[in-house]
Structure 1
């Protein structure tokens, strides 16, 4: 619960608190370190998930919209940084959504309350993606490959979720069997993996006009998590 979110802490004004939070976020973006925005601003961190409906509702209803927005931006920034290490397509899509929403806010197309709604929507998309992976029975890495091959309309329409899921599981298995920690700099290993990926895409009936792009996306995803797959 946001037990200390009802008033500025330590006697600071709203302006001082907002400035503190902005400085924390700026520092985090420059240093790429995960910094606890609640601790830095003197706000008690909630005991519940930062992406839970309860917390998001409380943040949305917080009286000082600009402060709530800065907190939400920092939380999403940290979340996307973490996801960028494992899921290429998902993190890229969510980051583009975040940047687009903030740009419209900066250009005064959206109010603080409106952009807050959009950021909450992004948070709910994250939760929905996690739920989808769980419902499909996919591991974190299998789901990453699923998003890589399901990243176009024609594939989703032609193959449907079950077949794309099966393809993702097999891709994960084959890449795990054939990848090495330094495979990204070994052209022969990369070439072998490319052949394997292309063959599997054809085997599972992936749309021919999208196979080249899907192959490159899958290889980039594999390169991102190669060290984990080869453990």
Structure 2
């Protein structure tokens, strides 16, 4: 019932006619607020609900949160109830508390821990007459996007440590603020993509609690757009050039529209969050990375080709992917491996990675070792042919 009431509060911010006019005749007189409306329209056309931030503020028409809250707790609780119907209420409340609890002063540590909750579920204990057993509580249904709530909120005021900030658009999935969008006006020479990036860095310092739950960041001036993570520098905010794997977009289509429709549609955003984000570690720091558009489409094609080739009627030949130098081949292999090992159709496969140079072997092994969270296992390194034979005797699958 609470869910139905909230749905009725959502309203359209424009019509398709207005926005198709914009895409056909981009005018240089648009203000930042109008670009915001256009961005919200793209999201609504993808099936997102919409609310104005002031509506759900403590003194708004339909209050849902305090200014210090970055998670829409009631919406998250509703999602947990819906996705875990057989679990006892105290277990679900325990999971909710774990999501809301921040334990480290280090932003990337908190973000990585939450990402694990998001993709793998939250471990809880259930007491029964026969003892205690472990269960998982899930906060996102990655298999069925329609089982999740997608909500875009603009001008959401967040107050933390007496600092007041208001991001342009926050995208909530099941009440969790997974995407933050910052917009600028392409006409204003001082309001560039770089200034939108700088604004996000200010938010990260002023209201860090919002970024505990962040999966990706988007910057746009209405014309161009870039996507990155909480550790990405400006040059790592990348465009998204395709709406799908089959069709090249027209040069007349706006970068913001292509990114929103190609990357933020419900299927793709959930796939990206679950299978195409890594926390790459070295001795000094952790970098959170998300796949570029070419990696995303190539890996998904490769996964489907591999599954078909290894099926009962398959020919055993998955195919070949050709990448240019510097295009992220190693990470593409990580994304491919990470998605393949959890696909139930592959029945816990063993993956063997071969290189033709020692330096490439070391580089690839290091990359895989640094991305264990996505792989959900520690890769093994074969030191010799005999060692490889021993490693391949294991029946439980793995990455060598």
TM-score of the two chains, using structure 1 as the length reference? 0.34
Higher strand share: 2
If each structure's helix is expressed as a fraction of its own residues, which one has the higher value?
1
**Looking at CA atoms only, which structure, 1 or 2, has the larger radius of gyration?**
2
